[in-house]
Amino acid sequence: MKIFSESHKTVFVVDHCPYMAESCRQHVEFDMLVKNRTQGIIPLAPISKSLWTCSVESSMEYCRIMYDIFPFKKLVNFIVSDSGAHVLNSWTQEDQNLQELMAALAAVGPPNPRADPECCSILHGLVAAVETLCKITEYQHEARTLLMENAERVGNRGRIICITNAKSDSHVRMLEDCVQETIHEHNKLAANSDHLMQIQKCELVLIHTYAVGEDSLVSDRPKKELSPVLTSEVHSVRAGRHLATKLNILVQQHFDLASTTITNIPMKEEQHANTSANYDVELLHHKDAHVDFLKSGDTHIGGSSREGSFKETITLKWCTPRTNNIELHYCTGAYRISPVDVNSRPSSCLTNFLLNGRSVLLEQPRKSGSKVISHMLSSHGGEIFLHVLSSSRSILEDPPSISEGCGGRVTDYRITDFGEFMRENRLTPFLDPRYKIDGSLEIPLERAKDQLEKHTRYWPMIISQTTIFNMQAR
């Protein structure tokens, strides 16, 4: 995926008008005493979420998956629309996290069912969305500055995901026309400005959501090109679990994600501390982690049926780490992951295990033959990555023997001393910028090379070439 594709900037426009305060009519049973009902106790009535709550929860889950897998370079701008447009964050990297968005949404609060529906409209939000798409992000600015005369290579594309309750197909048509016109106007403005960029491609994803049990007044429509700059697709989805599933499918499509299910994870249960049962955890990641499977055609694609929608996932078996043997594997790609059921016990158990520093090898389930280790899960700097390991033959096998090559017949190399030298010249992360005596910025790479140069001015490679280094230290 190119850095500046449509996925670089996503604008959520969520309807905050009074009708979004209505219930989605999907009941959530939360009173567990229903089963063992004692006499005289009246069970609590089941509750249901409003359309607004469903929309916010689903869009937050979309953002969570996106931020987990792409912590940088994929940005979200959140807009709620009622009597005006309220832009909740900006494109800066500091504003790109769930805490910011949740805090801002909490400040906005739920829609007011007693507000005047006449002046509330999703149109305010859509216009603001186009306006914000013209604004330059830090990444675009950096790339343009780097390229100077070739700055036009940096594209400005984006996606508007709008969750609303539309009245009819013609209403949807009206919203699309409005977006098209607004893009046209703003592109004219941007052409004359240094601080704005014209929108080259915009994908409009209109999600019409309505309460369970009602009829949908809007029909689904696949992606259609409305103009060279704007494409549009319409999804008609019942609120509640269906809306969550729809946005889950969309995030996978928009960011080229695929799913892997890790099976056979041994976990101890609280109640039965002496036994362990095997659990499955499903993870999302960029689909390139499966590229070897797709090319070889050897897919173990199983399906999991969730609420009626069939989702493809590849199953990998957990290999219990035997020893603490640290090995350098031939890895062809590493991808961040995001658990699908982030709040489940197995998911958090797996996450904690990995964050404590253990790596796990994953094998392709095979009915016969030797096992093939195809992936590895490992945590780096607090983030969890899925490494793709190559299991095919290596062109570097059978290298020429060291003892037959240059310098191979020498037997008294100062191997231990060089080992000490390597430990003294270990690299570590360089956090703060430092300055040299003359005031210029110290470049860590130059400093490292200088240090090596100084310490190797006299470094005899073999024991018989030196007296000093063979004398007892201290």
Partner 1 sequence: MPTVVVMDVSLSMTRPVSIEGSEEYQRKHLAAHGLTMLFEHMATNYKLEFTALVVFSSLWELMVPFTRDYNTLQEALSNMDDYDKTCLESALVGVCNIVQQEWGGAIPCQVVLVTDGCLGIGRGSLRHSLATHSQRSESNRFPLPFPFPSKLYIMCMANLEELQSTDSLDCLERLIDLNNGEGQIFTIDGPLCLKNVQSMFGKLIDLAYTPFHAVLKCGHLTADVQVFPRPEPFVVDEEIDPIPKVINTDLEIVGFIDIADISSPPVLSRHLVLPIALNKGDEVGTGITDDNEDENSANQIAGKIPNFCVLLHGSLKVEGMVAIVQLGC
- Footprint of partner 1 on residues 121-160 (CB under 8 A)? 143, 146-147, 153-155
Q: Is 347 in the site for partner 1 (CB under 8 A)?
A: no
Among 233, 333, 344, 365, indicate the residue that binds partner 1 (CB under 8 A). Answer: 333
Which phi and psi angles does 375 have, rounded to 5°?
-145, 165
Residues 187 and 189: their CA atoms lie apart, in Å, by: 5
Cα angle 254, 259, 261 (rounded to 5 degrees) comes to: 165
The pattern of x and - marking residues 250 through 289 that bind partner 1 according to CB under 8 A reads ----------------------------------------
Tell how far CA 385 is from the center of its chain.
11
**Nearest distance from residue 158's CB to partner 1, in Å?**
16
What are the distances in angstroms from CA 112 to CA 48, 54, 60, 166, 432? 17, 16, 21, 18, 48
* Cβ–Cβ < 8 Å for 275, 269: yes
Which of these, 283, 242, 234, lies nearest to 262 by C-alpha position?
A: 283
> Of the ranges 15-23, 219-227, 263-271, 322-330, which one interacts with partner 1 (CB under 8 A)?
322-330
For partner 1, which stretch binds (CB under 8 A), given 111-119, 129-137, 213-221, 455-463?
Answer: 455-463
**Nearest distance from residue 463's CB to partner 1, in Å?**
10
Nearer to partner 1, 144 or 221 (CB): 144
Asked if 164 and 216 touch (Cβ cutoff 8 Å), the reply is no
Please report whether residue 362 would count as binding partner 1 according to CB under 8 A: no
For residue 298, the one-letter residue type is D
208 vs 387, which CB is nearer to partner 1? Answer: 387
State the Cα angle at 343 between 1 and 381, rounded to 5°: 55
User: Does residue 322 interact with partner 1 by CB under 8 A?
Assistant: no
The DSSP line for 105-141 is HHHH-S--TTS-GGG--SHHHHHHHHHHHTBPPHHHH
How many residues form the binding site for partner 1 (CB under 8 A)?
73
CB of 148 to partner 1, least distance (A): 12
For the bound state, the minimum distance from the C-beta of residue 194 to partner 1, rounded and expressed in Å, comes to 20
Q: Does 387 bind partner 1 (CB under 8 A)?
A: yes
| Contacts by residues 99-107 (CB-CB < 8 Å, ≥ 24 positions apart) | 101/60, 101/63, 101/76, 102/60, 104/78, 105/56, 105/60, 105/78, 105/80
Asked if 470 is part of the footprint of partner 1 (rule: CB under 8 A), the reply reads: no
Question: Least distance from C-beta 240 to partner 1, angstroms?
Answer: 38
Please report how close the Cβ of residue 326 comes to partner 1 at its closest, in angstroms.
4
Stretch that binds partner 1, among 183-191, 195-203, 219-227, 324-332 (CB under 8 A): 324-332
Of residues 394-433, which lie at the interface with partner 1 (CB under 8 A)? Answer: 394-396, 398-400, 402-410, 413-416, 418-419, 421-423, 425-427
Question: Between residues 153 and 436, which has the closer beta carbon with respect to partner 1?
Answer: 153
Tell the smallest beta-carbon distance from residue 452 to partner 1 (Å). 4
